[in-house]
Structure 1
Amino acid sequence: MATRVLQRLGNGLSPARTGVRVQARLLLVSRGLSASTNRNGEDSWFRSLFVRKVDPRKDAHSHLLAKGETSNLYKIQFHNVKPECLDAYNKLCEEVLPSIHADAHYPCELVGTWNTWYGEQDQAVHLWRYRGGYPALTEVMSKLRKNKEFMEYRNERGKMLLSRRNQLLLEFSFWNEPKPREGPNIYELRSYQLRPGTMIEWGNYWARAIRYRQANQEAVAGFFSQIGSLYMVHHLWAYKDLQSREDTRNAAWQQDGWDECVYYTVPLIQHMESRIMIPLSVSPLQ
């Protein structure tokens, strides 16, 4: 077969272009030489005949999946706290974070702040919203460096932490925008590490599937990462308690179409994690 392909390629070319090189390739293929260098070269050349065409993309997936009517940017922070310092850490956060949230000088809002209950232990999770996108984030960071109270908070906080990390996120267009919520509630943060290149596919399935999870108002927010760990998705849910969570999730399976969403999205996932979180007293999401 390889010989026929090579012959067809040579038929429409001038002798100068078909020449010794094509004849040499025909001899190599027809004689079936087994030397690894020649075999690798032939395999690579033969595969190049069947290169798939890449469909052109006209826009980044962030523009296709994010809310177009807003320019909100979110930051999620994960702080791993020394176990003996968790109470002091929470007290410090409750003293400082609300003042930043309430100050119109800073174009940012504290969406929610929690401690993990089940999942990674002794961990604090903070979610911030920057209305105005990256310029708002830059403005806030610049102003906070000049805020003496905040810098003292950062120094004191640093003594209590084992590690910390953050991500910058955009919200999916088909999810609810997170709004203050009365409690008491527990919150579940489900985090998915997707296979690279599958974010659009994930969004297409969940744009239809989210309607199956709205009956009890449990859907709080959905995000995908822009900076930090990439191809990360976070879904935030609220429940009255663990039994309510169990009942609500089981009820989704009774609706036609939910099983299809699960079936098609599970293969897109490389890793997933669930955190059950309890809000701090100052969290707008209670």
Structure 2
Amino acid sequence: MLQLAMKQALKPNIALSGARRSISVQTLLHGSPEAKKVGDIEILQHSRLVARGKYVHGFEVHRVKPDSIDEYKAATEKYYAGIKDDARLHVKLTGSWETVVGDQDTFVHILEYENYAGYDKTVELIKNSEHAKSYKALLPYVNSRSTQLTQEFAFFPTSPPHAQGGIFELRSYQLKPGTLLEWENTWRKGIEARRKFVAPVGAWFSQVGRLHQVHHIWQYPSLDARKEMREKAWQIDGWAETVSKTAQLAKVMDSFILLPLPYSPLK
């Protein structure tokens, strides 16, 4: 499902009304000007209320050729470790992972930019550097790619680099349009209760790419430890209500188990 969900990050969502009226090609492709204006205002208002606003996090998902995994890993280490260590760039590498439960041969890289200005500057600097050559060198091993720009939730900044070991779980939700604020409010209350056992290492919502998406990543010593911690969470007052309410606000929910790559700052 990760392949499907992240492929959708760059695809437009086209909804056709059953009303009997003339619909232009422009409207089909981009939506009516009125609806687009209302939607953009709603997204902006909700984003201002729930976003930390300090950084922009880029999700880069690569679907790799099965017979080229080793070559891909070597090429990506050169590229991502290279930009991580380049002080001229306005970006840090949050983490790089391989999916082990979910869509196979899929890799997730999360980059932390110094807001949108930092993203723009970094893209321009990379274009005219050795990093561009390193990126082109990994492309022959990739079947497809997708990107998405996200913001952190204000109540939960992304964890700094650490090496605790174990596994990571990426959970992705496609929310019903207009429900981000309600989802954030409900989930935040539940997380406060669940912190007794485990807290996510990061939580984000999409701003560019597939909209109305939420992602959060958890770290556990093992799958068995994950099972135990999740069972304990159900015994906490408020968590069952959180799960019930947030599930009603989501259209699609996915869970993937990831392992960090050797150069990942989060591992």
- Aligned partner of 1:129 among 112, 132, 136: 112
Counterpart residue number, 1:74: 57
Aligned to 1:153: 134
Sequence identity percentage:
37
Partner of 2:125: 143
Report 1 or 2 for greater relative contact order, CA contacts < 8 Å, sequence distance ≥ 6: 2
Choose from 150, 171, 178 the match for 1:197: 178
Matching residue of 1:87: 70
> Number of aligned pairs?
229
Change (3 A) 1:57 1:96: closer
Aligned counterparts of 1:271 and 1:253: Cα–Cα separation in 2: 22
1:99 to 2:75 alignment: no
Task: Kindly state the Cα deviation for residue 60 of structure 1 after the two structures are TM-superposed.
Answer: 1.1
Deviation at 1:177, TM superposition (A): 2.3
3-state SS of paired residue (1:197): coil
What is residue 154 of structure 2 aligned with on the other side?
Answer: 173
Note closer, same or farther for the CA distance 1:213–1:158 as it changes in structure 2 (3 Å cut): same
SS at match of 2:170: strand
Q: Is the 8 A contact 2:198 2:229 kept in 1?
A: no
Alpha-carbon distance in structure 2 between the residues aligned to 1:99 and 1:113: 13
Other structure's SS at 1:207 match:
helix
Shift of 1:239: 0.4
Cα deviation for residue 211 of structure 1 reads: 1.2
Alignment-derived partner of residue 163 in structure 1: 144
Q: Which runs of 5+ in 1 are unaligned?
A: 1-39, 41-53
CA gap 1:162/1:210 in 2 versus in 1, 3 angstroms: same
Which segments of 5 or more consecutive residues in structure 2 lack a partner in the other structure? 1-19, 21-37
Q: With structure 2 as the length reference, what TM-score do the two structures score?
A: 0.82
Q: Please say if 1:65 is aligned against 2:47.
A: no
User: What's the C-alpha RMSD, in Å, of the aligned pairs?
Assistant: 1.9
SS class of match (1:174): coil
- TM-score, structure 1 normalization: 0.76
Partner of 1:9: none
